[in-house]
Structure 1
């Protein structure tokens, strides 16, 4: 099923402009009468294209229901990688249904995460969720230092690949 992401949907109709309009009109080649899903942070809607112009796409909301939230909590602590590798990791975590991604700064990782990276990570996660037909976008948390991670929570596991010295973990 074709699906798009919107920050919010109010009422029984809405208009898409800019990126969402371009995506429906040009990429998906939607026509009047086509039905597709709309995912928002809180709900999932079925919609039908009622009008397509050069400037906007008008939609009629057919039905809506609350978005399915996972019954579990799965947080992943991921050391910060170079751009394309971190993007790939965020995409795969979102496809797998992770609920929270926490970037970790360690001695061997990238040292900073810029604010615009969080926006990019969110966009990547949204696209991955739409593709995998999940309905929950993982929360991207602010980065933490490796030493600040507390492993006292029994539901969270931390796997760390290396340590100083030659003894195994």
Structure 2
């Protein structure tokens, strides 16, 4: 079945009739190349809706709503905590976390993080994460936030997992809680202070595979592992 094109608009709900100008116009007309009568899915802050292209003018496009679905909270809570890293790697994994069903992504600066996240960077990452969620066609959009210190991290999920390559005992993860957070470390790995703080915050440390992975590889692998367990209902 052909997957419909989608668009995110910074508005609360799906209006009956929306007039697209500037970037929205260019995206629908020149990137998606949609024509009058064709459909597009519009995501907003609180809902998504099916729209039909009604009119295409020289500087604007009118789209008319056919239906609307209010976002519903998933039955699970899946938080991904990602150490800040270089732009090209961070952009990649944040979009994948949206695609892999994370309900929240927290970016945090650890001792070995090589960058600090500014507000405009966080806005760009939010758009990428939303793009990932739209690709997967979820009935919700994930949240994103940034903390400039691991000490300020406050996660209240029932299960807290830190994937740590120096954990000697290999453990196969075959069941998880419905409320779970995972921590993916920085490019330079965790230092002793990071591990001590995470231990105090109730994280358990796992290393399910051999080898030292790149941070962006580990992020996609372990987030995918958790999503698979969630979708298969492998709960404790």
Q: State the TM-score bracket (shorter-chain normalisation).
A: 0.7 to 0.9
Aligned position for 1:32: 36
Cα distance, 1:43 vs structure 2: 1.1
Residues 1:116 and 2:124 aligned together: no
Cα distance, 1:150 vs structure 2: 5.7
How many Å separate the matches in 2 of 1:141 and 1:120? 12
Residues 1:7 and 2:10 aligned together: yes
How many Å separate the matches in 2 of 1:111 and 1:26? 35
Residues 1:134 and 2:138 aligned together: yes
Higher mean displacement: 18-27 or 152-161: 152-161
Residue-by-residue CA offset, 1:13-38 (whole Å, 9 max, x unaligned):
11011111111111111111111211
CA RMSD of aligned residues (A): 2.1
How many Å separate the matches in 2 of 1:14 and 1:160? 48
Aligned position for 2:76: 72
Contact 1:38–1:46, Cα closer than 8 Å, also in 2: yes
Secondary structure of the residue that 2:163 maps to in structure 1? coil
Cα distance, 1:72 vs structure 2: 1.3
TM-score, normalised to structure 2, is 0.63
Aligned position for 1:43: 47
How many Å separate the matches in 2 of 1:10 and 1:114? 30
- Classify 1:141/1:151 alpha carbon distance in 2 versus 1 (closer, same or farther; 3 Å): closer
How many residues align? The count is 165
Aligned position for 2:149: 145
Contact 2:84–2:109, Cα closer than 8 Å, also in 1: yes
Residue-by-residue CA offset, 1:52-106 (whole Å, 9 max, x unaligned):
0120001111111212432211111111001111111101111001011111211
- Classify 1:27/1:111 alpha carbon distance in 2 versus 1 (closer, same or farther; 3 Å): closer
Aligned position for 1:18: 22
How many Å separate the matches in 1 of 2:83 and 2:128? 17
